[in-house]
A and B are shown apart, each in its own frame.
Chain A
Amino acid sequence: MTIMITHIFLQNYWWFIVSLLGSLLVFLMFVQGGQTFLFSLAKNEMQRTMIVNTLGRKWEFTFTTLVTFGGAFFASFPLFYSTSFGGAYWVWMAILFSFILQAVAYEYRSKPSNVYGKKTFDFFLLLNGSLGPFLIGVAVATFFTGSKFSLNQMNQVKWETQWHGIEALLNIKNLALGLAVLFLVRINGLLYIINTVEEENVVASAHKKLTFNIIPFLLFFLFFIIMLLVSSGFAADRVTGVVSMESLKYLHNLLRMPVVLIFFLSGVLVVLFGISIAVFKKSSKGIWFTGPGTILTVLSLFLTAGYNGTAFYPSIFNLQNSLTIRNASSSQFTLKTMTIVSFFIPIVIAYIWYTWKSISNKKINEDEMKSDGHVY
């Protein structure tokens, strides 16, 4: 059987890849979620060291996924890159600032003569852990709520408000998704700590904190989902490309794409299952369910935003300037080239898996922190 490698096929394929990277990123932000508990979960310095080190062994994967997500978005949908980054300047800059701080904080926090002291670097981690996921959630929410921008005939963006992205914080749906992402990564962070740290008090304290994060997560997530499903969405005509408002668009998308609906429902159920075994059975395996559940849920949201004739980056200033995966993509040749490169992704995943397993065969405990190895 041969598959016609049409431009449309490649656009769909690359939207899937970008969505997958985005969903992996949200899952891997358990590192950020965990960082928000540095001060509240640890009762002493050793406990904090254990928490930092279990998270610190994974921070680069999250960081690299973010960079790759940005690079892949640029390569496959450059009009999104130029429109959103050049327009919503302040949101992206705030996200970037928080990630600069994270990148050095792990390596520098416990090194002697680090000038600013351990607490400062831990505060950087807290800042990155809180701001990063929240703002990424807000930015992704604008895929559904739209932004005020226009494109001229040369496809150059003009942000039609002087706030350059800050205005996204005034939309209640954007805030709800931002907070839902924040509480989700906090839950995943706790579950990851429970799974990897071998210290009774830390684990017990993490279990306690779960409940306080589950409730706001569910509230914000449900609020966002209900609002999304009952609201109008940005429909793009498949032939003419004309964008118009369609009532219940995102609900229609889910119903028209049963596979995406299954991803969404199963993702949510698996997340809830992971949370419930951690809460009710004090299981340490919760992350093994909430992780894949997070990936499936976020993936389904990205697919809902871009597939089925939907504008994934809508302009509420001029609907016809909205970005779709058809008008914002790279050329067929570039997407084809990139597709060949994407065949290496399974190899990348395979070696990441192998190395993770080989260096994570021991849990993080006091002995490990006092051993000869590299300790943050």
Chain B
Amino acid sequence: MNNICHDIEQNMNDFFDGCLRGKKRRQFFSHLKRCESCRDSFKKEKEIVEQLQSLPVSQCPEFVEKLIKASTINKREIQKKKEKKDLQWTFFWKPVTAGALAVAFILVFVLKTSQTNQETIKSSYTQEEIKRARDQAKYSLALVAHTLKKEEKRVVKDVVLNDISQTIKKSVSIVLPILGGDKK
């Protein structure tokens, strides 16, 4: 470690602070010429100061600058752009979503109702009941046909033998109850 003369230390500080002038400066340098220890210390400190002053300036990466701008001066613009984009998507997706929802709703409704109908048929009539109803219908139709045939023959006979108005009146009174669902 280099030892430095006590009186010269303050002058050295002043020199590095840039405020050693005139007579003091001359005295300082004349001392350095004579004293090897102080000269070495001065040289070393001068080197340190020069090295500190010549340390390289790091270049701030571009992405850091972009990130800073994105969080500060461009924040509103970015937000606006995002909002605009979101709005565009909303406008695009709104009708599509609505349409899809409507279609889905209709499908669900149709499926549901068809299922309900099937269920009611199944729950209301058994196969046996259907068969019985069909037989009943056949029997009713046959009865109607038979009655009409019989009535037709009678009408022809009556028209030939009796008055037409009376014949029609009688026919109607016989046929109407049958057409109205009466067993007769």
Bound together: no
Q: Which of A's residues lie within 8 Å of B, judged by CB? A: none
- B interface residues with partner A (beta carbon < 8 Å): none
